Structure 1
Amino acid sequence: MNAIFNKITHQLFHHKTWKGYWEPIIQLFLPAWRDSYYRAKVVAFKSLRADVVQLTLSPEKKWPIHKAGQHIALTVEVDGKLITRIFTIACGTTTRKSQGVIRLIIKVKDDGALTPFLGNFSKGKWVNISPPMGSFSLPHGKSVLMIAGGSGITPFLAMLEDYQANKKGSLEDKQSIHLIYYAKPHEHLLVEELTEFANHNESFSFQLLSRMHDGDIEPYLAQHGTSHWMVCGPFELYQQVAQTAKLINVPVDSEHFVAFPHLTDNTNSPKQQLIVKHNKTTLTVSNTETLLTQLQKADVPVSYGCGMGICHQCQCIKKSGVVRDVRTGELSDSAEQLIQLCVSQAATDLELQA
């Protein structure tokens, strides 16, 4: 019966589901309720420094238990628009099970679409989150070298929490972990937590480095040639690690992000050919047609519905790059976020994940 109602709703009202059609009314009783989303309540907000905040959320009970290292899409209504950004969960399963909360460590960008508004969050505010996503996780029974850059420390904080909680009486007693953490001088995050981990776990150690004082990372990698490497941080850091790993045949798992040059909003820009990576497919696209149209022409399997930006069936994660909204001409930033293929044009090379 639900399938029939949903089909009728989609055809007549351009909504994906019957429940979604009644969303505004349901929200009168359940703030931030949205079909196919999970709700989470803000329980704490803390500034770690001028440009970094810690957001503690209490997800509704049916939200799936995450694994340390996974990320979520956070969706917030800003000036009547839903803004979605991707953030790594900065705590392990242990905190979720014992306290019923998760935390996000977020760097605030003055020109960002979402992060400048986080300062307006108050205790009790409701937001939307996606199910936990990603497969960046601590391997079992192996010595590990963690390499973090800037805010890339967040998945490792989650892994260390669960590592400590699960260590007693397990095979993990023999697993050694070393962390190399790069950041600008005096900008390393949550050093107190890292120190506490080290004090309670003889098998964990860490180094705080900055490129200004300590140079590039290559000289610090050689002594860890028998470990499994994990890197999270800027693409430049990942490249340096990956090149060294290839030379000495070391396995590397990574989560990295790319900084793109500033772009101006110019809807009359000359036609360009850009590269789009969509899951395992790589294709060349134009900046003058929507991504959905071009993916369909290339016979790339994608989900879609109305084609007008209403039903959200063609949503996917933009892992990196900048897109232009064809309805408003607005450019996204280069961070991970949910986009709609039917109303997005490529403004730079892109990496997409369905």
Structure 2
Amino acid sequence: MSFIFNPLTNWFSKQFFHHRSMAGYFEPVIQIFKPSWRDGYYRANVQSVTYIANKTVSIELKVESRWPTHKAGQHIELTIEINGRLVTRVFTIASSPNQAMHEGVIRLVIKQHDVGAFTPFLSRLTVNSWVNISKPKGTFLLPQSNAVTFFAAGSGITPFIAMLHQALHDEIPPIHLVYYAKPNEHLLVAELASLRNRLANFTFTLLSRSTDGDVAAKLPEFIGSQWLVCGPQDFYKTIKNYADTHQQSIESEHFSLVDLHTQGDEKAHFQVDHGGIKFTADNQQPLLAQFQANKINVPYGCGMGICHQCQCVKKKGVVRDIRNGKLSDYGEELIQLCVSQVVSDVEFKA
């Protein structure tokens, strides 16, 4: 494939077919022979879809041999087709690099929501169906330290599960996990118990705010260890504020809502990342005009949303369609630059 689709053919594709690569232009043909093959992605085959708790699903994926093995704590972008369009979300890998290297399998543990554009559709995945994944990303990794404290809330347990499974094969410092969830809603408890039995340096405590109080009251006893935090924004902020006050070392992977600015009459600025080229854009002008002002060469035609020549792939972030005010999804989506304005930080494929 790399021999056929070289830089010269990719340049030709951008100039005449408005695709970033010739492979992307021939994508529908390639998919006849390789289902779900997409330019710039990795394929993964669904091995199992199992409900492990109320509204929580465990998905095992067989990855391509060319997929670069992750490090424990990293995440991937998972892309599935929903009602004819590709939708992407980010999830932490909840299995060890050792399993990926020897079995070619990774696991995702995902909390489903009753409404939404992604997780309600995970139940439609079937064994031997195909999805797309990105390469592993992120720097939330187990540090080299004398002692480590994990603080997890809800589905924030997933990176720590991966780290603990990898610890079966590596030397680790003493680790204590403080795990908050609603009563009877802690995930993977039997797995944690098994890991505690196999790892001499690992202990954990299961807590609930309703019965054990806020995490802030638990923090003083862990001063001096290296803190790793994964959970919702409020949970993270509580721990971060305490750590800053007490000069405590902390690393985090926290969930937060996208900071949207949807009032079109009030000017705001956001960062745009186009394949590593970054600039600041406002929410008043169409993106195409701001790309051109920053001398970033992108295909375009009519400039009115009719010819679709300025289509590009938004990887993450939210834009507004100036024709109808509709907001895009946060994940990966094909948009038109000439009729889109930013309402959050955005990232595009080059």
Task: Give secondary structure in 2 for the equivalent of 1:166.
Answer: coil
Whether 2:130 is the aligned partner of 1:136: answer no
**CA deviation vs aligned residue, 1:100-149 (integer Å, no higher than 9, x gap):** 10011111123221211111111000111111111110002431111111
How far, CA to CA, are the matches of 1:91 and 1:292 in structure 2? 41
**Structure 1 gap segments, 5+ residues each:** none
Q: How does 1:210-229 map to 2 (within 5 A)?
A: 210-229=208-227
1:60 CA drift (Å): 0.8
| Identity of matched residues, % | 41
* Residues 30/114 of structure 1: CA separation in 2 closer, same or farther (3 Å cut): same
Counterpart of 2:282 (choices 272, 285, 288) is 285
Partner of 2:162: 158
1:85 CA drift (Å): 0.9
Counterpart of 1:113 (choices 108, 112, 117) is 117
How far, CA to CA, are the matches of 2:214 and 2:254 in structure 1? 17
Whether 2:197 is the aligned partner of 1:204: answer no
1:223 CA drift (Å): 1.3
- What TM-score do you get using the length of structure 2 for normalisation? 0.84
Whether 2:69 is the aligned partner of 1:75: answer no
Partner of 1:250: 248
The one-letter code of the counterpart of 1:273 is: K
* Residues 201/223 of structure 1: CA separation in 2 closer, same or farther (3 Å cut): same
Partner of 2:54: 50
Whether 2:244 is the aligned partner of 1:240: answer no
1:5 CA drift (Å): 1.1
The one-letter code of the counterpart of 1:253 is: E
- What TM-score do you get using the length of structure 1 for normalisation? 0.83
1:209 CA drift (Å): 1.3
Partner of 1:306: 299
1:234 CA drift (Å): 0.8
**CA deviation vs aligned residue, 1:71-116 (integer Å, no higher than 9, x gap):** 1111111111111111111111021123210011111123221211
Partner of 1:40: 44
Task: Give secondary structure in 1 for the equivalent of 2:205.
Answer: strand
**CA deviation vs aligned residue, 1:201-247 (integer Å, no higher than 9, x gap):** 23111111122222211121111111111111111111111111112
Q: Is the 8 A contact 2:46 2:127 kept in 1?
A: yes
Q: Is the 8 A contact 1:273 1:284 kept in 2?
A: no
Partner of 1:191: 189
Q: Is the 8 A contact 1:149 1:232 kept in 2?
A: yes
Q: Is the 8 A contact 2:314 2:348 kept in 1?
A: no
Task: Give secondary structure in 1 for the equivalent of 2:195.
Answer: helix
Q: Is the 8 A contact 1:112 1:333 kept in 2?
A: no
Partner of 2:266: 272
Task: Give secondary structure in 2 for the equivalent of 1:196.
Answer: helix
| CA RMSD after TM alignment | 3.1
How far, CA to CA, are the matches of 1:90 and 1:311 in structure 2? 38
Partner of 2:104: 100
The one-letter code of the counterpart of 1:305 is: V
